[in-house]
Amino acid sequence: MSKILLLDYYVFYLVLFSLPFGMNVFIPILFAWLCLVAISYFVKRDYSTNRFRGLLLLPALFYLFHLLGVALSSDIEGGLFDFQIKLSLLLLPLLYPFHREIYKKSRASFFWSFVFGCAAASLYFIGYAVYQTSTFVNGVWVFNPTPEKGMNSHFFGSTFSYLIHPSYLSLYFLVAFLIIGVELNRWWRKGFAIRTVVILTATLLMTSLFMLQSRAGILGFGLLAFVWLIYLVLAKRRYLLGLGVLVALLVLSFFVVTRLDRISKTAKSLEKTAQVGIKNQNKEDGTTVRLWIWKSAFSVIHDHPVWGIGTGDIRDEMHKQYESRGMAISAQYRHNAHNQYLETWLGVGIFGLLALLAMLFVPLWIGIKKRDWLLVGFICLCSTSFMFESMLNSVVGVGFFAIFYTVLVSRKAETNVPMS
């Protein structure tokens, strides 16, 4: 019976491992864990809500603001769908049994399960790309990675990570890098074999990150590397190693800007925008279109600054803006705001935006105060990603944020909570 009661604990490893494989793999496993952990509370007769407090209340508060978003929506069905998507923000903090000793002791191993899940997903996507670009002609293997005209390469972008959006996967990889960096002193002392595995894992993740060609992901990687450089030089006084990291960063930056087509186009587009202004820029360009989307979002917010327009009506109102501005592609694909802060402000108004900011920056302040650099890094990476994508508009984005947020901040709520 005791082993059955631990089933939720083992499934939680699978939850973290499955995240990089996308919603079709992740959602069934997450649902299984939620059911198992709920059953375990009933079996243990643990009905206390004392553990659900402090920082764990902030995601629930943000989630409940979306009830207002549903009430304000003309499209109630759309509002309820968004409310359903964000359900993990309520269930994860409520059900995660951080007060159980086995969960407490396994915090680091949970994170490593996620890291190796990212590595496994990287190997899968690379293997799938090789498979898609390989043929056998007269019994001879022919590898042709160059796509046909009008086709996307299987080794780059969304075609490479076909199970999950590149922006989400790049954020996952960045958090995996963060875990590897924060846990450096632990795994480095584990011996040559462990060091080799972790270094190879980091190399694989870095390769896959650049294959994703996510601009937010590459920016985040640069920020992580820069922070590590400062840490090596100022905190550890490892000047030679710091110099090596600086040189590697410069070489990598030159390669990214000159060799990665999507990044080089982004740099040229931003340079042109700075010279001629956004009003004279192409509204279909992959980079400047985002600036036009944000401009459209601010136009809607200007008319509904306090309460928003309702979460179910965001797409319709943005679609009207796209059509009036001649943004054909954005209108066709009904783009969201591509910015979580604007998306929240649009849907649930200024008070919902304040709830989102509280959910991010209160833990950030406490993390800095307590020197919990994994929490600080996670919040910083998510806050940055929220500037470029509406990350909480999908189950994999909400699930990822809810899981890591809950596991990271739950340590702050452990004092004086009765053990089950």
Greatest mean pLDDT range, 119-123, 134-138, 216-220: 119-123
How far is Cα 66 from Cα 74, in angstroms, rounded to an integer?
14
Mean pLDDT for 335-353 is 94
The verdict on pTM exceeding 0.85 is yes
Tell me, rounded to whole angstroms, the distance of Cα 48 from its chain centroid. 31
Q: What is the pLDDT of residue 52?
A: 59
User: What are the pLDDT digits (tens) for 78-100?
Assistant: 999 999 999 999 999 989 998 88
The answer to whether residue 311 scores a pLDDT higher than 90 is yes
Winning range, highest mean pLDDT, from 219-233, 381-395, 405-419? 381-395
Task: Count the alpha carbons within 13 Å of 29 in the hemisphere toward its beta carbon.
Answer: 20
Average pLDDT of the segment spanning 111-131? 95
Indicate if the pLDDT at residue 278 is higher than 70.
no
| pLDDT at 267 exceeding the cut of 90 | no
In this predicted structure, what is the pLDDT of residue 85?
94
